[in-house]
Structure 1
Amino acid sequence: MKPIDLGGIVIRDVMEFAGPRFRPHDLLPDSTPEAVAAHRHWMEPDLYDAARDLLWMDRRSYVIETRHHRILVDTCVGADKERTKPQWHHLNSPWMGNFRALGLAPEQVDVVFCTHLHADHVGWNTRLADGRWVPTFPNARYLFGRIEFAFWQANQPDPDGPILEDSVQPILDAGQAVLVDDRYEIEPGVYLELTAGHTPGHLCLHLQGTRHAVLTGDLMHHPIQVWEPQWSSCFCHDPAHSGRTRTAFLQRHCESDALILPTHFGRGAAGRVMPRPGGFRFDFLEPPAAPPT
């Protein structure tokens, strides 16, 4: 993703993974092959791999620089974590190298914000040092949703692995955690919005410079959900609630000046919600990739 300047606020991304990942029906159980086929014309080649019938799914963090703070949003899968998914177990990804390539060091992060507490959004919260998990960003306060934290505390063990134990509890033990609620303000114009459904305490981050942007976490996993907002992912705690939240969000931001930045969208991720007959579409800032020759 190219850096985005909102006027006093700059957004960059840190990639951990990009590529074809899920069959449409596996990711979006309410989809049908016929309905997905109707979207191939705008998805190919870089949002849908037709040869393998796989939807493209990126995995990224965002770094936001305001006049007052350097904020890291969602920390991907991380390194050396015990996870039940083989592709995440003891992962050794280029994430930290990509982070440092932005000219940053972990000590320079002021705030870490996790939209929710799934394994692919909290992993780099901590790193392994002398056999124990310690905060990766020693000078940061970490923001966790209060509702989200309470839900996962009450619903252990996590099927994806010891996520609270290795990626959240060490932050509390270090005294760096702050439990936050809907409308929590990091600074004027930088605030959180509860967008429950994917998880009970899922939060989005609003940024208001001379332009408005919203970092949406897993409110949407793939751009086809802008066209088909009733399709919730297989990872959603409450699919019906997720669909209602997503539809309401799209209605609010359709034709606004807001840039929408999801975690998992391909094609540079950022874009605007625009109307189409009977619904919405997503207009990316970056053009589609050229078809393979």
Structure 2
Amino acid sequence: MNTAPATDPTAAPSWTVGDVTVHRIDEVPLPPATGAWLLPDATPDLVTRQDWLRPQFADDSGILHLDSHSFAFTLDGLRVLVDTGIGNGKQRANPAWHDLDTDYLQRLTAAGFPPDEVDLVILTHLHADHAGWNTQKVEGEWVPTFPRARYLTSRTEREFWAGYDMEEAREQMFRDSVIPVEEAGLLDLLDVPAAGVDLAPGLRLLPTPGHTPGHVAVVLTSGGRRALITGDCIHHPVQLAHPAIGACVDIDPQQSEASRRTLLGSLADTDTLVLGTHFAPPTAGHVLTHQGTYRLAPVPADAH
């Protein structure tokens, strides 16, 4: 079994956005080989030219740092979890995701989000490393981890995969992490128009298609402050400097790049806090214009 290193679960990093505290719930750092596989055009030479990426987001040899984590926050009494990581005990083709045994649920609980008290689970898209903790194994069966929550994803996303000729590994992910939620009647599909859609006051989904057809980013507004959770529209800060760099698993690379450029253009030189779903610590930052494209100015987590 693939066991992640234990960390203090009471130390969930967090950021203040107006009256809301956004917690990062760590699952596991991804192996060094992940970056070269996921973003093959982010060559070491290209990465090392961006001094601002070091040391947090890349090492001196140009190897990218990537993590798997979720974000959780409470908004007007609504306990929200954005993406659910890889999950424990899942049979996965990717060795880094296979049969994990992490303390993710303990960290989530310690941050104030016991699984049976989560109200809303937002899935930016239906990939194995974003939907894995949708379920956990109980007495040999995969059951929803968050039994009183509504799980939410875009209708476009679910309908695309329903009509897709899946390979066995993806079929397995749907069998263990999506279909049990549907069978429990907990999955809601939402139409997300081009302008986005409000889920609640201060909580909005923004369409960022391309990585998958129904991919969404999550926008949080409180007390005059704003944050955006990227999902996989942006995997790594190197894509700020080179927005044309896409992921090897993008369904529509051209659309993915267009979504990324539009999003970055809207974020640049604003006070919107960007929270990267795979960004290594410090995870968050502001997008600044830089040498014709952009860079990330890191914002460390709040001191506890």
2:238 match: 224
2:76 match: 67
- Name the CA distance, whole Å, in 1 between partners of 2:217 and 2:186: 21
| Residues 159 and 188 of structure 1, relative CA distance in 2, 3 Å threshold | same
1:291 match: none
Matched to 1:2, the amino acid is P
Q: CA deviation at 1:34?
A: 3.1
- Name the CA distance, whole Å, in 2 between partners of 1:4 and 1:178: 28
Are positions 1:195 and 2:204 aligned together?
no
Q: What's the secondary structure of 2:97's corresponding residue?
A: coil
Q: Deviations over 1:168-224 (max 9, x none)?
A: 111111111110121332211201111001111101111111201111101111111
| Residues 136 and 152 of structure 1, relative CA distance in 2, 3 Å threshold | same
Q: CA deviation at 1:225?
A: 0.5
**When the two structures are superposed, what TM-score results if normalisation uses the length of structure 1?**
0.91
- Name the CA distance, whole Å, in 2 between partners of 1:69 and 1:24: 35
Q: CA deviation at 1:92?
A: 0.9
Are positions 1:152 and 2:161 aligned together?
yes
1:168 match: 178
Are positions 1:274 and 2:288 aligned together?
yes
Percent identical among aligned pairs is 37
Q: Is the 8 A contact 2:42 2:238 kept in 1?
A: no
* Backbone CA RMSD of aligned residues: 1.8
Q: Deviations over 1:58-83 (max 9, x none)?
A: 11000011113000010000011121
Matched to 1:50, the amino acid is D
1:250 match: 264
Runs of 4+ in 1 over 4 A off after TM superposition: none
Matched to 1:109, the amino acid is V
**When the two structures are superposed, what TM-score results if normalisation uses the length of structure 2?**
0.88
2:20 match: 9
Alignment of 1:1-293 (within 5 A): 2-18=13-29, 20-22=31-33, 25-39=36-50, 41-50=51-60, 53-158=62-167, 160-161=169-170, 162-182=172-192, 183-210=196-223, 211-286=225-300
- Name the CA distance, whole Å, in 2 between partners of 1:157 and 1:190: 32
Q: CA deviation at 1:29?
A: 2.7
Q: What's the secondary structure of 2:161's corresponding residue?
A: helix
Structure 1 runs not aligned, ≥5 long: 288-293
Structure 2 runs not aligned, ≥5 long: 1-11
Of 135-144 and 13-22, more deviation after overlay is shown by 13-22
